[in-house]
Amino acid sequence: MSGLQIREIEVKGVVTKSNLPVCQYSVNPYVGCTHGCRYCYASFMKRFTGHQEPWGTFLDVKLWPEIRNPKKYQGSELFISSVTDPYQPQEEKYRRTRALLEQLKESGAKLSIATKSDLILRDLDLIRTFPEVRVSWSINTLDEGFKEDMDKAVSIKRRLAAMEAFHKAGVRTTCFVSPIFPGITDVKAIIRRVRGQAFEGMRRRGKFLVIILRSGDRIILHLRMTGCLLLTPADYPEEKHTHIVLRTDKGKELRFSDTRRFGRFWLISLAGIIPQRLSFFIERNEISPEEYLEKKGKDYRNTPFLQVYGHEGDPCPICGASLRRMVIGGRSSTYCPHCQENL
């Protein structure tokens, strides 16, 4: 690649703590990225590294001391990488990402890897040894000509082939459709090529609800004052002000509604922190949670689907433990002391 400036730099470490919602640590084996994507959000890193060259024309290869205690990351989520591609072409020579994986082997860390390359196939044998790992490929078009205008990474065909190989090997995979170019990105066509999303679980961080997808991506919700999340049969009448509907293959729908539009709903991708209003945003009317228990809890609209709220003393629908109610600052909440022991 003509005009490319590469240098090796010594660093004290390669694993850094992160405030990203998708991980506890971020890992970047390189500074810069020779894929040179025209739309890359990571180009802002230039001002912190002293580089004046155009994005995509420089690369710093990090040399770090061997990780002495990889077990310290057991159970933690490590994101490889947040501001570079760990499998850009120069990785074939310098093998810094391979070295990182070898040093983290048997650490028990949870890995999320984001790339635009099929060079990652070289490390499939090693990646499979991690107990929890997810690999994401960025694909925002199926038009190879347009792709050539946007980045210097491998073809879309090769990315899809690599994704399929990892999927067949039993590794969780995802297709990250971003950025979306209006009139160019055919989201439906891309989705037809890669299917299989599923809900893996839900957890709480502060006042945020985090829905974990099989791909490793996250749906982040903040209900605020009037937001409400409901799991209902697909044929159940839709309430007013239902903004978002996620349809499952089990005949159920996860619905997000908010009377006063205070609540927030984001899709967070492993390939970067990209908050998005989902493309299937539905503008309708809605009702507030307070209305669900109108007339002191008698049947009203969605009351039959409230399995915890208002059921103090009843068995938890998941584990059977007795539900409890607590009051903080004059407001109450019903919860399961077994399933939600960390609250």
Distance of CA 233 to the CA centre of its chain: 26
Residue 26: pLDDT over 70: yes
Q: Rounded distance, CA 77 to CA 336, Å?
A: 26
The domains of the chain, with CATH numbers, are 5-193 (3.80.30), 199-295 (3.20.190.10), 307-343 (no CATH)
What separation, in Å, do the N-terminal and C-terminal C-alpha atoms of the chain show?
A: 53
Percent of the chain whose pLDDT exceeds 70: 73
Residue 273: pLDDT over 50: no
Segment 14-26 shows an average pLDDT of 86
Q: Rounded distance, CA 323 to CA 340, Å?
A: 10
Segment 102-112 shows an average pLDDT of 94
Instruction: Name the token pair of 134.
Output: 């997810």
CB atoms within 10 A of CB 131: 12
Segment 151-157 shows an average pLDDT of 93
Q: What is the pTM of this model?
A: 0.58
SS3 state of residue 10? strand
What pLDDT band is residue 300 in, cutting at 50, 70 and 90?
Answer: very low
Residues 6+ apart with CB under 8 A from 124: 165, 166, 169, 171
Asked which of 185-199, 204-218, 237-251 is least confident by mean pLDDT, the reply is 185-199
Over residues 179-204, the pLDDT tens digits come to: 666 666 676 776 666 555 566 666 76
Q: What is the pLDDT of residue 45?
A: 76
Residue 109: pLDDT over 50: yes
Segment 124-136 shows an average pLDDT of 92
Q: What is the pLDDT of residue 57?
A: 92
